[in-house]
Structure 1
C-alpha cells in the first residue's frame, strides 16, 4: 500500500502512459485491486479512487466514445480489462480475496458505472455473487456484498439482472437485527430496487411489499440515526434520500421533530460542533442530508390538465394497481399541494435547517453541494415568512457565493461570450426573491459594490434561454428594486448584456404581471439612466418605443398605466421626445386623447367606463405630459397642433383639475403652466 502515497503524481501521468493499454491492467497499478477494502485507511482509499478514475478516463480517451451505454468502445475495453480481475477475486475460496474482489467491484460502480454494470450482468459473475451470499457468513463479506448490490440496484440494467435468490437475501438482511450496518446497507439496496422504474413486478415476485418498504425501511433508517449508529449513518441517510421522493415519507419525516433535529445536527452549525463520524466520507453524507432537506421542501411544479391526466393514467397502469388507485393518487396529490409543502418547510426552518446550509458548503464544497443548497434556499424562500430568517442566517451571502463561483466557472464560447450553465438560475431566483421583498441594504449589506455585483446574475436570470416566465418576472422585480438605488445602479442595470432588448420584448407580453413588471423597470431606467433616456427620446427608433409607452398608458391595468405614463412624464422633458410624440399625434391622432384620459378616464367616451375614478398619480402624470408637450414643442408645431386638434376640451379639463386640486402643488404648477401655453396660443378661459 505504500505506493498509494504517489497517487497524485500517478493519476496525472495515467492518460498518456504507454503502459495504459486497453488490453491489460498495468502492473504498476495492480495494488489498486486491494486498496478499497473497508478496513483500510480512508485517506488512502480516497487516493485509490482518484487513481482508478484517472485510469478509466485514460482508457476511454485512448479508445474513443462514440455511443452511450455498454456498446461504446471505452466500456468494452474497460470490461475486457476488469472482468477477469473481478471474476477471479470473487470466485476465490479465501475470504480475504473475496472481500478484495467485492470492494473493488463496488468502487468500480462508483467510478465507471457503465463498465461495472456490463460486468455485473455476466452470468458467471451473478453466479459467483449468489455463491458468496450462500457460503460466507462473515459480517465484513456480507456487508460488502450488500454494498455491491446497493450500487447495482441504482442502475436499471442491473436491476433487471437480479435473481430471486439475491432479492430474498436482501430481504432477510433487512429483517435481521443482529448486524445493524448490514441491515442499513440492505435497506438502501431494497429502497433503490423498489424505486427503480419498471421493477414493481420483480419486487412483488420477491415478496417485497411497496407499502411495507415505505413504512418499515423508513423506521429502520430513522432508528439508525436516532440510536447514534455512526458507522451506518451514510447508509441510513442515503436510503432516506431515496425514500424522500415519496410524499408520504416527506410528510412523516417532516413531522418527526426528534429525527429532524438529529439529522440536522450531523451537519454542524459551526466547525466546532459536529456529529460527523471521523472516518465517514463527509462529502457523501452531507450531500445525502441536503437531498433529504431538498425533497422535504420542494414544491410540485405547476402542471397542466393534460399532464395531470397523463399522471393519473400512469398510476392506473402500474403493476399491482387496483380500483382504489385513483383515490390513492388523490391522497398523494394532496400531500404535494402547496399548504403541505409550506408546512414541511416551516418544520425544517423551526428545527434549524437554515443554520447548517452555509456550513455544509464550507465542509464539502463542490458543484453538487452548491447546487442543492441553492435549491433548498429557493424552496424555503417561496414562503415569504422565511425570507427574513434566511437573511438573518446569512442565506443571501451563501447564495451570492454560490452564484459567484458558478459565474467564475462559466465557459467562453468561440464567439467570446460567456456560456452560463442553467444551474445558476435557481440560486439566482432565490436571491431575487429576497431582493424583491427586502431593501437592497438588508440583502446585500451597506457596500454598494455588492448591489452592483448582483445586477449581472439577475440580468442572466432574465435573459437566459432556459429561464421560466416566473424566473424572468422575479428577475425584473429584483432589478427594479436595484435600479431605484440611484443613478449609478440604474446605469449599471441599463448596461447589462441583452437586458434592454429583453425588457422591451416583455413589455408586449400578454401576461399582465410580466408586462407590468417590464414597464415599471423601464420607467425606473428612463428616470435613472441617461442611456435609456436617450434610447427613448432620440432618433427614429425612439419614436416606435414612445408609441409603445403611449399604448401602455391606455391599458386597463392601473400599475402598468402608472409606469408607462411615468416614463412619458420623464421623457417629455426632452424636446426630441415631444417632437416624436407630435408626429405620432399627427399620424394616428391618439397621443393627446390618451394623455387626456390619464386625467379623466371618461374623456371622449360615450359609454359607461369600467375604470375606477381618476387616480391622483395618473392626474399628475397626465398634466405633466401635456404641459411638457406644449412647452417643448416649437411654436410652429404648437400652432399647427391647435389647428388640427380640438384643444378646448383639454383646456376645460385642466381648469377642472385646478379647481379640484387646490392644495396639491405638484399638480397645480404643471396645470397652470399648461393653461398658460394654451392661452399664449390665443385660447381664452371661459368665464364662470
Structure 2
C-alpha cells in the first residue's frame, strides 16, 4: 500500500483487462508527438491484442473492437499517411489489417464512413490521407476498397483535381499510389482507371519539365523567378515515375475496348511500353536512390513483354544496376520482390507442350484471331537461353544465394524459379554449382513446407540438372559443409511424376535418375543411401514405357550394384522377387535401345561375380542367349560387357561353373566368342574374350 503523500503507481499492462489496455494504447496513439520507435511499440501492442481478440471472442468474451469507434479508427489510419515514416506506416499497416479482421463488417462500415467523409471535405490534407488509406487497404479488404474506389463520381473527380493549376505533389503521389494499388486488384478497377484517368496519366508521363518552364516565361516574361512557383506547376519526377508504373500495368492487362464497347483511349496514345521501359531504365541508371522502387516495379510489369525482355537483357549496365539494387534491398521488402520478378520474367522459358497441346493452341489462335495470334519468336527457347546467359553473366547467383538465407517464402519461390531457368543452360551449370546454387537449392527444398509442392519440385529439378553436369567431388568435396547425401532426398522426391499436374511430365524423373547415377558413381555410403531411400521407385522406372527413362534407371542400377546392398537384392534367385528382378535386367539387356542394353550389360557384368546370379541366368529361358547377344554387338563397349559376363559365368567354381559352361556350349557360345575376339580392337576386350573362350574349351 502506498504511503501517505505518495502517488499510487499506474497499473502495469499485464494487470489491466484487454479493454483497458486497448483504450490506453489508443489514447497514447491519439496523443502523438512521440518518437517513431515508441509509436511502433504502441502499434505492435495493439496489433497483438487485436490478433488475439479472435480467439477470445470464440470463447464467448466480448470483442475489444466494441470500444474502437470512428475517432479511434481515424487516429489509427492516420498513421498510414505518406507523410509518416516508412517504419511507422509499415507497423500501422499490420495494425489496420488486424483491426479489420477482428472488427468484421462493423470495421468495414467505419472505414467506409471515414473514406467518404474525407473525400467530401475536399481539402488537400484529407485527400492525402484518404488516398493513402485506400492504397494500403486494397490488398487487405479488396472487396470493400474496390466498392469505395468505384463509388459513382469519385474517379471522375480525380482528373480535374489533379489538373489544378497549382499542384500538390503529395496529393498527386498519394493519388497515384492508390491507382497503382487499384490496378493490381481487379479488372473493374483497371477499366475505371483507364476510362477516367488515362489521359491524365499520359499527360504526366509525357510532360517535359523544361517545356513547362519555357511556356511560363513565354506567356509572362515578367513572371517571378522563384523556383517554388515553377515547381508547383509541373509534375515531379517521382510523380512521373508512379504514373508510368500505372500505365505499364494498364498496357499489359487492359483490353482494347472498354466494357461499353467504346475505344480505349489509352491504346492509341504515344507512350508505348518501350517508352515506359526507357523511362524506368534512365531513372535507375541516373538517379537510383530516388526512383528505384517505382522504376523496379515498372520494369517488373514491363518485362512481361518479349521485346522489353530482350531490351533489358541486352543492356549490361541496367542488369548490373538491378543486381546491385537486389543485393542492397532489405530482405522481405517490396523492392526485393520487384527486382526478383524482373529476373524471373527475363529467364522464364515457355511451358513444354505435347504435340496435341500445340495443335490445340494453334486451333485456338485461328478461332480467336483468324490465325494472327502466334507465339512471339522472342520467347522461344533459343532467345530465353541467351537471356539466361546474360543474366548469369551479370553476377546474380551470389546475390540470390544471399537472399535465399533470410528472405520471405514468396522471394524464395522466385529465387528457385530463376535458378531453375538458369540450370537449363548446360554451359553454366558448373559455375552455378561453384557459386553456391547447389547448397541454395538443397536448403530451399528442405526449408519449404510440404504445402509448397510446386516450388519444392522446381528446386529439386534445378538441383538435378546441375548435378548431371558437374563432378560431385568438386561440388561436395573439400571444406564444403553440405554432404552429397543431402542431395538425395530432393532428387528422389521427383522420381515419380507430379500427381497434381494436368499432364504427366517424365522429364524431372529422367533428370533425377541421371543426377543420382552421377552421385552413385562416387562411394558406397551414397549408394547405400540411394538404395534405402529410392529402390522401389527405381525398380518401377526400370519398366517405364518411355525408353529414355528406362535407360536412365538401368544406368543408375549399373552404378548401384557396385554396393553390397544392391547385390543382396539380386543374389538369391531362389526368392520369387529376386528372380523377377534378374529377369527384368535380362530383358533390358535385350532391349531395342543400345544405351539400355549397355546399362543392363554393365550391371550383369558386376552381378555375375556372385553364384546366385549365375544360377538365375542359367535357369532363365534365353538367359544365356541374351548374354551371348551382347558379345555379338557391333558396339565394342557392349561386347566388352558381354565378354566379362561370360567370363564370370564360365570361371565360376563348382557345379554352377560347370552348368554355365555347358549352357554356353549348347547355345553356340564358342563361335560367338571367337567372332567377338576377331571383331574387337581394344586389348582389354580381346583379352577377356580369349580367357572366357579358354575356360569354355579347356574345362569339361
- Return the TM-score normalized by structure 2: 0.80
1:554–1:594 Cα contact (<8 Å) kept: yes
Match of 1:299 in 2: 349
Match of 2:85 in 1: 41
Choose from 594, 615, 635 the match for 2:655: 635
Choose from 379, 404, 426 the match for 2:421: 379
**Count of aligned pairs between the two proteins:** 619
1:663 offset after TM fit, Å? 7.8
Choose from 536, 540, 548 the match for 2:570: 536
Match of 1:465 in 2: 498
1:140 maps to 2:197: no
Match of 1:483 in 2: 520
Match of 1:676 in 2: 695
Structure 1 residues 298-344: Cα deviation after superposition (integer angstroms, max 9, x where no partner): 222223455445555666677xx7x8x83xx55x6221122222222
For 2:120 and 2:582, the matched residues in 1 are separated by: 81
Which segments of 5 or more consecutive residues in structure 2 lack a partner in the other structure?
1-28, 54-61, 209-234
**Shift in CA distance, 648/471, structure 1 to aligned 2, threshold 3 Å:** closer
Aligned alpha-carbon RMSD (Å): 3.4
**Shift in CA distance, 495/165, structure 1 to aligned 2, threshold 3 Å:** same
Structure 1 residues 61-111: Cα deviation after superposition (integer angstroms, max 9, x where no partner): xxxxxxxxxxxxx6x666434222222223322321221111111011133
1:90–1:102 Cα contact (<8 Å) kept: no
**Shift in CA distance, 383/365, structure 1 to aligned 2, threshold 3 Å:** same
1:619 maps to 2:669: no
Q: How does 1:411-422 map to 2 (within 5 A)?
A: 421-422=453-454
1:14 offset after TM fit, Å? 1.4
For 2:174 and 2:331, the matched residues in 1 are separated by: 16
Choose from 555, 565, 571 the match for 2:601: 565
1:19 maps to 2:55: no
Q: How does 1:6-85 map to 2 (within 5 A)?
A: 6-17=42-53, 18-19=62-63, 21=65, 30-58=74-102, 79-85=108-114
1:346 maps to 2:368: no
Match of 2:180 in 1: 150
Structure 1 residues 639-667: Cα deviation after superposition (integer angstroms, max 9, x where no partner): 6995x886161123234546666984576
| Residues 669-678 or 372-381, more deviating | 669-678
Which segments of 5 or more consecutive residues in structure 1 lack a partner in the other structure?
60-73, 269-273, 411-418, 602-612, 682-688
1:431 offset after TM fit, Å? 2.2
For 1:567 and 1:393, the matched residues in 2 are separated by: 35
For 1:640 and 1:476, the matched residues in 2 are separated by: 33
1:580 maps to 2:623: no
Structure 1 residues 135-177: Cα deviation after superposition (integer angstroms, max 9, x where no partner): 6831111111111111111222322444622222222222224
1:201 offset after TM fit, Å? 4.3
**Shift in CA distance, 361/640, structure 1 to aligned 2, threshold 3 Å:** closer
Match of 1:217 in 2: 276
Structure 1 residues 218-254: Cα deviation after superposition (integer angstroms, max 9, x where no partner): 1222222122053322111111111111111111222
For 2:82 and 2:599, the matched residues in 1 are separated by: 66
1:290 maps to 2:325: no
1:522 offset after TM fit, Å? 1.3
Match of 1:62 in 2: none
- Return the TM-score normalized by structure 1: 0.81
| Residues 394-403 or 142-151, more deviating | 394-403
Choose from 459, 465, 472 the match for 1:440: 472
Structure 1 residues 628-649: Cα deviation after superposition (integer angstroms, max 9, x where no partner): 445559738956995x886161
For 1:77 and 1:495, the matched residues in 2 are separated by: 58
For 1:554 and 1:375, the matched residues in 2 are separated by: 40
Q: How does 1:517-556 map to 2 (within 5 A)?
A: 517-528=552-563, 530-538=564-572, 539-556=575-592
Match of 2:295 in 1: 236
Larger radius of gyration: 2
Match of 1:505 in 2: 540
**Shift in CA distance, 659/640, structure 1 to aligned 2, threshold 3 Å:** closer
1:516 maps to 2:535: no
For 2:592 and 2:660, the matched residues in 1 are separated by: 31
Match of 2:130 in 1: 101
**Shift in CA distance, 470/118, structure 1 to aligned 2, threshold 3 Å:** farther
1:336 maps to 2:395: no
For 2:312 and 2:364, the matched residues in 1 are separated by: 26
1:354–1:393 Cα contact (<8 Å) kept: yes
For 2:697 and 2:570, the matched residues in 1 are separated by: 27
Match of 1:604 in 2: none
1:454 maps to 2:471: no
1:540 offset after TM fit, Å? 0.7
After TM superposition, where is structure 1 displaced by more than 6 Å over at least 4 residues in a row? 659-663
2:567–2:607 Cα contact (<8 Å) kept: yes
Structure 1 residues 334-384: Cα deviation after superposition (integer angstroms, max 9, x where no partner): 21122222222232233333353234446x611122221222122122222
